[in-house]
């Protein structure tokens, strides 16, 4: 029986985001983000037509849920401020209702012994900026810096841990390449411009933060998805995984942590005539405003190999450099269609240790979304989610090992303390320690994992008794 203990002060908690939990209510002054707009245009794009207005009702029930989260051992919690809730227009007019909500929320978290962490943008650009071109335009970048300043000024007395963006690469990737997020574009050149402007916006927000001499710290949440190639001895396969790493991981990690873009990425973009337009002084700004720490979201790896057949496209798409493959005997979370590969978390840690100056980092998201969880309810209505316990435990074992080998990881946040709205998947897959059933107007209930997580947090670790098998 092995013991896995983490150091004193290691952060245990969970994460969610404004658009995935708050909901929209008459009189709250919230403006549309891209999600409300997309839902209005095409409700069928959302699982069972459940849209962003019907999320976990956190705007109204946070007072009930926060003590429940604390009961689960959540002692730090990241959520995001919705820009579209605190500013009503492009002029930056403040919505007092919006600020007041986040005030109440932050105060309630602190009163319940939960450290609040705030992220400034979690995929939810206000529509008033999207209709002007979103992050394709520089104006949105400077507006983001102004919004960031407002948030720092208003909350920094109580909030000490900040994140500029959540998974910034997802915005160009899903919104401008693969058409899974609004505005559903497929155009690599536009995607690269958007990515560049988001990095600039993040660096500008860091600059605002530094100007305030705030005692807190600022980071960025990156979904560092290790790209493993099929045949490590095959140069073409190595090149494929290197291109994937450059485009999907290093495009934000390097400028955010090292203050500069990888030379190989710049050459790749030049070769494809998709370098973004920029001002030369931007590069100084990016160099001078790196983050204090990194948040890492990890769910699954990428398995790639070199492209077997030529890739035909009239626009630049990263796919010309690689294709995905499914390794034999790989374990899948079949609900989400994601491979389960716990060692990825260790590999990320070692990479940050060896190639990024051992920058402090925390796991900002890791978790298991499972469909139809009611099938696992016992006779008292408690979801027996042993698979979730095993999933977390198995990742923590690798994280523990990475820390033992010198990685500077200081916390672990699971996604998410309570069931939340998964974008176009809505409530198809559930991730929470707490079950939420808004449609049935049911009271939130603890799942089995809630008690396990409480123990983990109280004891700063766990003992590896016989675990339940993963649900595969």
CB distance 243 to 322 below 8 Å: yes
Q: Kindly name the residue from 167, 173, 208, 373 that is annotated as catalytic.
A: 167
Nearest distance from C-beta of residue 253 to ligand BGP, angstroms: 16
Q: Is 425 in the site for ligand BGP (CB under 6 A)?
A: yes
Q: Is 58 in the site for ligand BGP (CB under 6 A)?
A: no
Stretch near ligand BGP under the rule CB under 6 A, chosen from 245-253, 272-280, 312-320, 420-428: 420-428
Q: Is 365 in the site for ligand BGP (CB under 6 A)?
A: yes
Nearest distance from C-beta of residue 359 to ligand BGP, angstroms: 20
Which CB, 337 or 469, lies closer to ligand BGP? 337
Which CB, 219 or 276, lies closer to ligand BGP? 219
Integer CA distances (angstroms), 395 to 284, 435, 466, in order: 38, 22, 16
Both structure tokens of 203: 């660096």
How far apart (Å, rounded) are the C-alpha atoms in residues 87 and 30? Answer: 8
Which CB, 31 or 166, lies closer to ligand BGP? 166
Using DSSP, state whether 370 is helix, strand or coil.
strand
**Alpha-carbon Rg for the chain in angstroms:** 21
CB distance 78 to 120 below 8 Å: no
Does 91 participate in catalysis according to the annotation?
A: no
**Angle at CA 291, nearest 5°, toward 217 and 209?**
55
How many Cβ atoms from other residues are within 10 Å of residue 442's Cβ? 11
Please name the residue ranges forming H helices in 49-95. 58-71, 83-86
Q: Is 126 in the site for ligand BGP (CB under 6 A)?
A: no
Nearest distance from C-beta of residue 387 to ligand BGP, angstroms: 15
* Interface with ligand BGP (CB under 6 A), residue from 223, 242, 289, 457: 223
CB distance 204 to 210 below 8 Å: no
Name which of 224, 239, 226 is nearest 170 in CA terms: 224
Q: Is 82 in the site for ligand BGP (CB under 6 A)?
A: no
Which CB, 19 or 29, lies closer to ligand BGP? 19
Name which of residues 133 to 172 contact ligand BGP (CB under 6 A).
166-167
Name which of 88, 116, 100 is nearest 59 in CA terms: 100
Does 365 participate in catalysis according to the annotation?
A: yes
Q: Is 297 in the site for ligand BGP (CB under 6 A)?
A: yes
Which CB, 299 or 346, lies closer to ligand BGP? 299
Nearest distance from C-beta of residue 200 to ligand BGP, angstroms: 21
Stretch near ligand BGP under the rule CB under 6 A, chosen from 172-180, 306-314, 423-431, 452-460: 423-431
Name which of 259, 252, 331 is nearest 295 in CA terms: 252
How far apart (Å, rounded) are the C-alpha atoms in residues 466 and 472? Answer: 18
Nearest to ligand BGP by Cβ — which residue? 422
Q: Is 373 in the site for ligand BGP (CB under 6 A)?
A: no
Q: Is 84 in the site for ligand BGP (CB under 6 A)?
A: no
Residue carrying structure tokens 């710290």: 217
Nearest distance from C-beta of residue 348 to ligand BGP, angstroms: 15
Name which of residues 17 to 36 contact ligand BGP (CB under 6 A).
17, 20
Name, in order, each residue with C-beta under 8 angstroms of 375's C-beta and a sequence gap of 6 or more.
Answer: none
Nearest distance from C-beta of residue 271 to ligand BGP, angstroms: 29
Q: Is 336 in the site for ligand BGP (CB under 6 A)?
A: yes
Which CB, 17 or 251, lies closer to ligand BGP? 17
Nearest distance from C-beta of residue 6 to ligand BGP, angstroms: 23
Nearest distance from C-beta of residue 3 to ligand BGP, angstroms: 30
Which CB, 6 or 176, lies closer to ligand BGP? 176
DSSP state of 250: I
Using DSSP, state whether 228 is helix, strand or coil.
strand
Name which of residues 165 to 184 contact ligand BGP (CB under 6 A).
166-167
Residue 38 has phi, psi (to 5 degrees) of -60, -40
Name, in order, each residue with C-beta under 8 angstroms of 4's C-beta and a sequence gap of 6 or more.
Answer: 396, 397, 400, 461, 462, 463, 464
How far apart (Å, rounded) are the C-alpha atoms in residues 67 and 159? Answer: 19
Residue 194 has phi, psi (to 5 degrees) of -60, -45
Nearest distance from C-beta of residue 123 to ligand BGP, angstroms: 7
Name which of 310, 320, 237, 232 is nearest 274 in CA terms: 320
How far apart (Å, rounded) are the C-alpha atoms in residues 248 and 347? Answer: 16
Stretch near ligand BGP under the rule CB under 6 A, chosen from 37-45, 179-187, 308-316, 419-427: 419-427
How many Cβ atoms from other residues are within 10 Å of residue 288's Cβ? 12
Q: Is 415 in the site for ligand BGP (CB under 6 A)?
A: yes
Q: Is 423 in the site for ligand BGP (CB under 6 A)?
A: yes
Stretch near ligand BGP under the rule CB under 6 A, chosen from 176-184, 236-244, 272-280, 417-425: 417-425
How many Cβ atoms from other residues are within 10 Å of residue 157's Cβ? 11
Residue 73 has phi, psi (to 5 degrees) of 90, 10
* Interface with ligand BGP (CB under 6 A), residue from 429, 433, 452, 456: 429
Binding site for ligand BGP (CB under 6 A): 17, 20, 166-167, 223, 297, 336, 365, 369, 415, 422-423, 425, 429
Question: Which residues are marked as active site?
Answer: 167, 365
């Amino acid at each position: 029986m092995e013991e896995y203990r983490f150091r004193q002060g290691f952060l245990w908690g969970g994460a969610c985001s404004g658009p995935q939990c708050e909901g929209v209510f008459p009189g709250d002054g919230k403006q549309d983000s891209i999600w409300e707009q997309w839902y209005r245009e095409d409700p069928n794009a959302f699982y069972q037509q459940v849209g962003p207005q019907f999320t976990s009702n956190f705007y109204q029930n946070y007072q009930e849920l926060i003590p429940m989260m604390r009961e689960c051992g959540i002692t730090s919690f990241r959520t995001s401020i919705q820009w579209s809730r605190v500013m009503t227009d492009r002029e930056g007019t403040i919505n007092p209702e919006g600020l007041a909500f986040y005030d109440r929320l932050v105060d309630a978290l602190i009163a319940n012994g939960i450290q609040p962490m705030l992220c400034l943008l979690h995929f939810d650009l206000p529509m008033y900026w999207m209709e002007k071109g979103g992050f394709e335009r520089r104006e949105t970048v400077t507006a983001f810096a102004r919004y960031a300043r407002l948030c720092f000024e208003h909350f920094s007395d109580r909030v000490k841990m900040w994140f500029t963006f959540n998974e910034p690469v997802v915005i160009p990737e899903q919104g401008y390449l693969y058409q899974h997020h609004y505005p559903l574009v497929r155009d690599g050149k536009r995607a690269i411009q958007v990515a560049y402007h988001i990095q600039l916006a993040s660096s500008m927000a860091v600059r605002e933060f530094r100007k305030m001499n705030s005692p807190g710290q600022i980071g960025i949440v990156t979904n560092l998805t290790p790209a493993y190639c099929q045949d490590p001895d095959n140069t073409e396969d190595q090149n494929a995984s290197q291109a994937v790493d450059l485009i999907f991981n290093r495009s934000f990690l390097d400028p955010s942590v090292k203050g500069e873009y990888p030379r190989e990425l710049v050459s790749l973009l030049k070769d494809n005539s998709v370098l973004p337009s920029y001002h030369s002084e931007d590069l100084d700004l990016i160099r001078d405003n790196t983050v204090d720490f990194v948040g890492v979201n990890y769910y699954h790896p990428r398995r790639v190999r070199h492209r077997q057949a030529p890739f035909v496209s009239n626009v630049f798409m990263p796919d010309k450099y690689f294709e995905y493959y499914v390794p034999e005997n790989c374990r899948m979370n079949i609900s989400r269609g994601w491979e389960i590969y716990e060692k990825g978390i260790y590999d990320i840690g070692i990479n940050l240790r060896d190639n990024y100056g051992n920058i402090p980092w925390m796991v900002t998201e890791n978790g298991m979304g499972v469909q139809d969880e009611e099938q696992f309810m016992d006779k008292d209505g408690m979801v027996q989610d042993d698979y979730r316990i095993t999933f977390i435990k198995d990742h923590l074992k690798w994280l523990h090992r990475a820390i033992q080998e010198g990685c500077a990881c200081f916390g672990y946040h699971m996604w998410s303390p309570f069931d939340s709205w998964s974008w176009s998947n809505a409530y198809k897959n559930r991730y929470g320690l707490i079950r939420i059933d808004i449609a049935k107007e049911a009271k939130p209930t603890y799942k089995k994992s809630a008690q396990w997580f409480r123990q983990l947090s109280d004891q700063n670790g766990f003992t590896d008794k016989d675990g339940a098998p993963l649900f595969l």
